[in-house]
Amino acid sequence: MPIHFKPYLTNKAAYKGGKSKDEINIGNKKIFKLSSNENQLGSSPKALASIQKHLSTLSEYPDTTDINFRKALEDFYNGQLTADQFVTTNSGVANIEVIIRAFMEKDTECIYTNPAFSPYWDFAAKVGGKGIDVPLDGDDYSLDVDGILGKINDRTRLIFITSPNNPTGTHIPKSQVDKLVDNLPDHVVLVYDEVYYQYADAADYVRALPYVIQGKNVIGINSFSKAYGLAGLRVGYSYSTPKLAEYMRRLMRPFMINTISMKAAMAALHDDEFIQKTVNLVHDEKAFLYTELDKLGVKYWKTQANFILTRPNLPSSEFTERILNEGGIMVRPAEGFGAPGCVRITIGTREANQALVEGWKRILEQG
């Protein structure tokens, strides 16, 4: 009898993230990586100091559980959440996978809202589940709450929403999240991906937190890859009701999070100064890019995150290649996120943004 390969694993192409700098070859030219929404100021200094301090412990196993990390998170949330409400993982994306493995199986469904972060439906397919797309509405990419509610059936397990959203940078106003949560049937869990929350400044922005505190079936997903500047370490966490979190922790392996990641993340949680500096840079540079993109006459969407979705006046793959060659700028075509013809650009330092604008100008001049 041949080996049984699961059809829903073999049928699928694996999820591809953005390339690293080492995977790009443009000679000795300076490269600005504006393709993966990383922190342009580097990593939290407190995290780096903690990494240094704990390097000598690497011959030993980490704590058997993540309870100290979860207690640090309880502190971070000033006791509004308790340690039993957290699930910590090797990255935000691993948390998404844990949630899908915990709640979905063959022939169940999750709802997502394109343009969106592709692991939601990609991972659902890998457990034999199905992603049901309820696309964001109109040019402002607003959430179609009635459309989502209309697609819920007995097989629905999860709804994924993202605010600020990747790749659009748009946020979901509180009134719409309220409506969705208020109408959520008992058998459905709302997964609220908020990995870019630090950058949001809209008056009607809301996190998953108030809903979880109210005891709703909501999970908030977070990452240390973005504002904390620790993408290379791979750490993330989610919070939900004690019941949901305790259930998901059954999927944890012993020693799942390595010592360095845990210590760095715990230190980063207290690095308010670095987060403030990071957010200030993004807000200042966002204003600079809006002005410059307006001058270039380029279509873009106002953002609540640390990246901007744009529609260059040429095919996104061609633009991606030309801006790399012209300005040394790595950007991300947004086709894979459900935004054809668009390119997502991380907001850089002034030097990077200036190189982007100059390179873009040359491309427009060349035609």
Tell me which residues touch ligand PLP (CB under 6 A). 37, 91-93, 117, 162, 166, 193, 195, 223, 225, 231, 236
Sign of the CA dihedral running 351, 92, 121, 197:
negative
End-to-end, the C-alpha distance of the chain in Å comes to 59
Backbone φ and ψ of 32, nearest 5° = -110, 120
Closest distance to ligand PLP from the beta carbon of 90 (Å)? 8
- For ligand PLP, give the closer residue by CB, 230 or 352: 230
- For ligand PLP, give the closer residue by CB, 99 or 357: 99
- For ligand PLP, give the closer residue by CB, 193 or 326: 193
Do 305 and 199 contact (CB within 8 A), yes or no? Answer: yes
Pure H helices in the chain: 7-10, 45-54, 67-76, 92-103, 119-126, 145-151, 174-182, 209-213, 242-248, 259-268, 272-296, 316-327, 350-366
**How many Å separate Cα 181 from the centre of its chain?**
21
- For ligand PLP, give the closer residue by CB, 200 or 357: 200
Backbone φ and ψ of 99, nearest 5° = -60, -45
Closest distance to ligand PLP from the beta carbon of 310 (Å)? 17
Closest distance to ligand PLP from the beta carbon of 195 (Å)? 4
Q: What's the Cα-to-Cα distance from 221 to each of 21, 65, 156, rounded to whole Å? A: 27, 20, 19
Closest distance to ligand PLP from the beta carbon of 142 (Å)? 17
Closest distance to ligand PLP from the beta carbon of 15 (Å)? 11
Closest distance to ligand PLP from the beta carbon of 94 (Å)? 7
Query: Which residue in 108, 137, 136, 134 sits closest to 123, CA to CA?
Result: 108
Residue nearest to ligand PLP (CB): 92
Closest distance to ligand PLP from the beta carbon of 38 (Å)? 9
- For ligand PLP, give the closer residue by CB, 15 or 361: 15
Cross-strand pairs, 239: 86, 220
- For ligand PLP, give the closer residue by CB, 231 or 257: 231
How far, in Å, CA of 53 to CA of 145, rounded? Answer: 48
Do 337 and 167 contact (CB within 8 A), yes or no? Answer: yes
